[in-house]
């Protein structure tokens, strides 16, 4: 299971939100590159980088942060937030992202999502499946769509999607644990997909459970920044 720390960006700074609410913003570090280097020094190989400004603006904003991290570390970065156009996705890949996470556009413009899957391949395009009360959320989680999470994933499972980052928004940033039952259900329903857990991961024991039920990765954010999970503890999971 991949261990994937998260860096969320607002105004060029490393922040965390609670349940996706921008008003709950807490700044943890002024310089995201310093945080990325700290992760790399601990043996971390992967990074989930989220452009929260971009998600809200509906176009990519924080390319410089991506460029700095990719050029000055060896981290394998997946980037999400505000990727809505061919120019956005081209810029993100040109600035060094190994993968991109596409959520809102996958709901609003499935034809474009299918085009990108065909053009870039399923290894490079991650389906962002973010849900609240079983419904898919879009636009930086500011809007809840009418589409159910399982219907959404099922639709793309038949269109060559391989990677899915699934976030239960009600758990995100709350430090109360992730939706293990939901992930167990998704693993059973979609055995061939590669699921990455996001939202609420709080303890090392929980990571062991997620690995046992067959999750392919776990994104960890606030638990690291608040000291609930130490980078030293994570070394046991880093292959």
Catalytic residues: 8, 130
CB 143 within 8 A of CB 166: no
Instruction: Give the whole-angstrom CA distance, residue 51 versus residue 95.
Output: 14
HEC secondary structure over 151-207: HHHHHHHCCCCCEEEEEECCCCCCCCCCCHHHHHHHHHHCCCCEEEEECCCCCHHHH
111 Cβ contact list (under 8 Å, min separation 6): none
DSSP-derived secondary structure letter, 21? E
Instruction: Give the whole-angstrom CA distance, residue 178 versus residue 18.
Output: 13
Element (H, E) at 10: strand 2-10
DSSP-derived secondary structure letter, 39? H
Helix/strand/coil for 221? coil
Instruction: Give the whole-angstrom CA distance, residue 60 versus residue 139.
Output: 12
Instruction: Give the whole-angstrom CA distance, residue 124 versus residue 47.
Output: 14
DSSP-derived secondary structure letter, 236? G
């Amino acid at each position: 299971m991949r261990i994937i720390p998260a860096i969320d960006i607002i105004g060029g700074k490393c922040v965390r939100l609670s349940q996706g609410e921008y008003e709950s913003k807490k700044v943890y570090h002024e310089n995201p590159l310093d945080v990325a280097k700290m992760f790399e020094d601990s043996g971390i190989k992967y990074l989930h980088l989220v452009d929260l400004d971009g998600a809200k603006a509906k176009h990519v904003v924080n390319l410089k942060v991506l460029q700095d991290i990719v050029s000055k570390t060896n981290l394998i970065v997946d980037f999400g937030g505000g990727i809505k156009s061919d120019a956005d996705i081209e810029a993100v890949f040109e600035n060094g992202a190994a993968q991109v996470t596409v959520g809102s556009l996958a709901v609003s413009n499935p034809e474009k999502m299918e085009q990108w899957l065909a053009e870039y391949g399923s290894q490079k395009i991650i389906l962002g499946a973010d849900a609240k009360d079983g419904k898919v959320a879009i636009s930086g989680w500011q809007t809840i769509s009418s589409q159910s999470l399982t219907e959404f994933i099922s639709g793309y499972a038949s269109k060559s999607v391989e990677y899915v980052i699934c976030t239960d928004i009600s758990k995100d940033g709350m430090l109360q644990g992730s939706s293990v039952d939901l992930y167990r259900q998704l693993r059973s329903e979609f055995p061939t997909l590669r699921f990455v857990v996001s939202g609420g991961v709080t303890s090392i024991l929980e990571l062991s459970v997620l690995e046992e039920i067959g999750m392919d990765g776990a994104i960890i954010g606030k638990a690291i920044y608040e000291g609930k999970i130490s980078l030293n503890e994570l070394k046991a999971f880093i292959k």
